[in-house]
Amino acid sequence: MTGQALFRKELKDVRTIVVKTGSRILTAAGHERRVERLAADLSALRKSGARVVLVSSGAIAHGMKALGLDKRPSEIPMQQACAGIGQNRLMAIYQEHFAKHDTLIGQVLLTWDDLRSKKRYLNLRNTLFKLFDCGAIPIVNENDSVSVEEICFGNNDTLGAQIAMLVNADVLVNLTDVGGLYDKNPHTEKDAKHIPVVSAVSVGIQKMAGDKKSEISVGGMSTKLKAAEMVTRAGIPALIGDGFSQSLLTVLKDESRATLFLPSDKKIPSRQRWIAFTGQSAGSIVVDAGASKAITEKGKSLLAAGITKVSGRFNAGDMVDIVDTRGDVIAKGLVNFSTDEVEAIRGCKTAEVEKKLGAIRFNEVILRDNMVVAPDGQKSCPAEK
Ligand code: GLU
């Protein structure tokens, strides 16, 4: 890989890197110097041959500054107004600093809908890859001034994880104001011990994080851990590090300034990530005990014979939940038939399916390759809000 000397030893062959930076880094005292350094480091990575995406918060915080507000407003229209005022200020600052390195940048503003529709997801992917081809660094943020849902529940940690999966990144770097994970709060406890590597995000690790939020941003350490958990399940390592007092290049290299989350051994293949972590189900299909066992224990596809009930409105190609007799979502997948078709063939053996539908396109209602089974009976989509 290009520029490999820039990374700590565990991060081999990094070619595509997604860096997420929080609002405080971009707006608290000294932010000009931090943005200058970030632009220099991202430009250096880009010039070393890496494909780089920056997921940047800071629109609302810059808008608050412009309006003289100390606290994040609680009303959504005011947050949206702040975002409208702040986003172009943020981009103007980036433009100024990236221009010093002759680095092109491209603004990409997204809502959840853009990711949850498969068509728009793939379209966005094309845009990001084309920006890479142009030698540009895409700068991504949520489109806060129109995205009500985002402002109520969303955060850029999750967006960073989604983008890392979308571009099939080799690492997701989350820059914040602490050097990653500690066994206690390092801001208040002098003897807090730094954790350089985490092999799996367990409940114990989640507890260490606490969930303190600041006056200007929405994500705490717990949303960063969730993002790390999501990408590591998809097979992508994550770093959470101190981008406040340290440079990005230090975070990438120095083990004492960041925590590395190792990718899971049982990674979800890239073509199934959208199903597992991003897509929104248009309906659900209830299956009997035999089909449930075939899916969860025997690695089988879903056939019409095991279906007992259908709900929602979906077309062929949409994502649906597969639900067992207790009402638990056991899997999600891309369905080969519409609601009406599944309703017509539910409970039927394959030979009868042909009689009901005429020439059939598929024997399976959901192919195994287009399905993700929930781990231990939990919902398979950690991104779900
Ligand atoms: N998208 C928000 C902004 O630009 C930030 C969300 C977050 O802090 O995670 O202000």
The DSSP string of 83-109 is HHHHHHHHHHHHHHHHHTTT--EEEEE
Please compute the mean of the pLDDT values over residues 91-110 and round it to a whole number.
97
Residue of 26, 109, 144 to test ligand 1 pocket, by largest number of atoms within 8 Å of CB = 144
More confident residue, 207 or 164: 164
Structure tokens that stand for 162 in this block: 């989604």
Average pLDDT score, the chain: 90
Give the pLDDT of residue 152: 52
pTM attached to this predicted model: 0.89
Please compute the mean of the pLDDT values over residues 263-271 and round it to a whole number.
86
Please compute the mean of the pLDDT values over residues 236-257 and round it to a whole number.
96
Least confident of 166-180, 191-205, 231-245, 270-284: 191-205
Structure tokens that stand for 241 in this block: 């590090």
pLDDT digits (tens, 9 = 90+) for 278-298: 999 999 999 999 999 999 999
Q: How confident is the model at residue 383 (pLDDT cuts 50, 70, 90)?
A: very low
Q: Is 254 exposed, middle or buried (0-12, 13-18, 19+ CB in 10 A)?
A: middle
Q: How confident is the model at residue 379 (pLDDT cuts 50, 70, 90)?
A: very low
Q: How confident is the model at residue 381 (pLDDT cuts 50, 70, 90)?
A: very low
Give the pLDDT of residue 5: 79
Domain ranges of the chain: 4-271, 280-373
Name the helix (H) or strand (E) containing 47.
helix 31-47
Give the pLDDT of residue 148: 73
Nearest CA to ligand 1 atom 5: 57
Give the pLDDT of residue 204: 72
Are 4-271 and 280-373 in the same CATH fold? no
Q: Are strands 194-195 and 181-182 parallel, antiparallel or unpaired?
A: antiparallel
User: Other C-beta atoms within 10 Å of 63: how many?
Assistant: 26
Q: How confident is the model at residue 107 (pLDDT cuts 50, 70, 90)?
A: very high
- % of the chain beyond a pLDDT of 70: 92
Give the pLDDT of residue 153: 46
Q: Look up the CATH number of domain 4-271.
A: 3.40.1160.10
Q: How confident is the model at residue 317 (pLDDT cuts 50, 70, 90)?
A: very high
pLDDT of 216 > 50? The answer is: no
Give ligand 1 pocket residues (Cβ under 6 A): 23, 57-61, 83, 141-142, 144, 155-156, 217-219
Number of alpha carbons in the 13 Å side-chain half-sphere of residue 211: 8
Bridge partners (DSSP) of residue 320 are 283, 333
Nearest one of 286, 312, 296 to 365, comparing CA atoms: 286
Give the pLDDT of residue 138: 98
Distance of CA 86 from the midpoint of ligand 1 (Å): 11
Give the pLDDT of residue 376: 57
How many Å apart are CA 330 and CA 286, to the nearest integer?
10
How many Å apart are CA 129 and CA 84, to the nearest integer?
27
Distance of CA 378 from the midpoint of ligand 1 (Å): 29
Give the pLDDT of residue 6: 82
pLDDT digits (tens, 9 = 90+) for 231-241: 999 999 999 99
Residue of 146, 151, 218, 222 to test ligand 1 pocket, by largest number of atoms within 8 Å of CB = 218
CATH 2.30.130.10 fits 280-373, yes or no: yes
Distance of CA 56 from the midpoint of ligand 1 (Å): 8
Residue of 21, 57, 80, 212 to test ligand 1 pocket, by largest number of atoms within 8 Å of CB = 57
Task: Estimate to the nearest angstrom the gap between the alpha carbon of 239 and the chain centroid.
Answer: 14
